[in-house]
Structure 1
Amino acid sequence: MCLPPANVAPPRDPDEEAAALPPSKIAECNALIQVINHGVRDLDKGRAPGEHEGGPSELRRMAESLDEAAAHAAQLNLTRPELQRFAGEYHALAKEIASATRALATAADTNDTERLSAGQIAIERAMKREPALVGRIKRFCRAP
């Protein structure tokens, strides 16, 4: 689920010493939103030619995309504790889904129906937490 950018920041006086000013809430919100949206777009990219839908190679590609998104979230330099917490939650959620996706790919490789079922359940459980996290980020970023 892609997030809309936070409200646009008002223009700054070019004579201000911008380096001495802390990043604005809007700039930090937009940085986190950009990382999340980029991760979503990477997951939405099409399969490679000849790749089976939901097949092990597609699942591994998805896990790699999730790991990259998690790494980008962890690298954000956020000063607001709320945004730091949201970035940490997103990082943990993306890593959890990536791990479950890799396990699902391995189960698919070996046709292990029990592990396939467990992997699907793990991914679904983790994915159910994503809308609530997105909602909390939206509320925080839209608040004055």
Structure 2
Amino acid sequence: MHHLSSWLLVASLFVTGCAASAGPGKTADSEGENDKVKECNAVIEVINGGMQKLNKSQNETKDAPGTEQLRALADVMDSVGRDIEAVPVTQPELVRKVADYQDMVRTTAKAARDLARAIEAKDARGANAATSALSTAVKRESPLVDDINAYCQSGTGG
């Protein structure tokens, strides 16, 4: 458990922003597109900010016991979950994608805490189950980020 980040490998996510549609004479379609751009950019900002928080947390706890690293990971995931929940999202497809991302964040936080508790309790079965849950949750991140990127970079609104 010395190098939590080496086995967690939380996907480095550099979510790219949407290009804003510019120009006068906006139509209802361009207004919807602008809403999509604003919402995508806000979601992307939170996700990228979460990655920065995670990197900072991992640097600060790199010499800490594994259970402390796991709890720090859980705290960051909880923070990202609160931050993304606060983003006003109205585009139906983006709402679904954000909900999936929130579920992944919550699942990651819970699994990290469960693993820390199991390690402290010397519960091998619990640790194995929590490790599996954590691995599964973390593996969901990259495809979810890719999905958000694909939606945000597409030319059509929600």
What secondary structure sits across from 2:83 in the alignment?
Answer: helix
What secondary structure sits across from 1:2 in the alignment?
Answer: coil
The answer to whether residue 13 in structure 2 is matched with residue 2 in structure 1 is yes
Aligned residue number for residue 97 of structure 2: 86
Structure 1 residues 126, 48: closer, same or farther in 2, change over 3 A?
Answer: closer
Aligned residue number for residue 101 of structure 1: 112
Task: Give CA deviations for 1:37-75 in whole Å, capped at 9, x if unaligned.
Answer: 1112212221337513xx111111110110110111111
- Which of 51, 55, 60 does residue 64 from structure 2 map onto? 51
Structure 1 gaps of 5+ residues are: none
- Which of 75, 79, 94 does residue 86 from structure 2 map onto? 75
C-alpha distance in structure 2 between counterparts of 1:121 and 1:41, whole Å: 25
Identity %: 30
Aligned residue number for residue 134 of structure 1: 145
Q: What's the offset of the Cα at 1:5?
A: 2.7
- Which of 28, 36, 39 does residue 39 from structure 2 map onto? 28
Question: Which protein, 1 or 2, shows the higher relative CO under an 8 Å CA cutoff with sep ≥ 6?
Answer: 2
C-alpha distance in structure 2 between counterparts of 1:49 and 1:122, whole Å: 22
What secondary structure sits across from 1:95 in the alignment?
Answer: helix
Number of equivalent positions: 136
What secondary structure sits across from 2:17 in the alignment?
Answer: coil
C-alpha distance in structure 1 between counterparts of 2:96 and 2:104, whole Å: 12
TM-score (norm 2): 0.76
**Aligned-residue CA RMSD in angstroms?**
2.1
Q: What's the offset of the Cα at 1:7?
A: 3.3
TM-score (norm 1): 0.83
Structure 2 gaps of 5+ residues are: 1-11
What secondary structure sits across from 2:60 in the alignment?
Answer: coil
Structure 1 residues 49, 3: closer, same or farther in 2, change over 3 A?
Answer: closer
CA contact (8 A) 1:3 1:138 kept: no
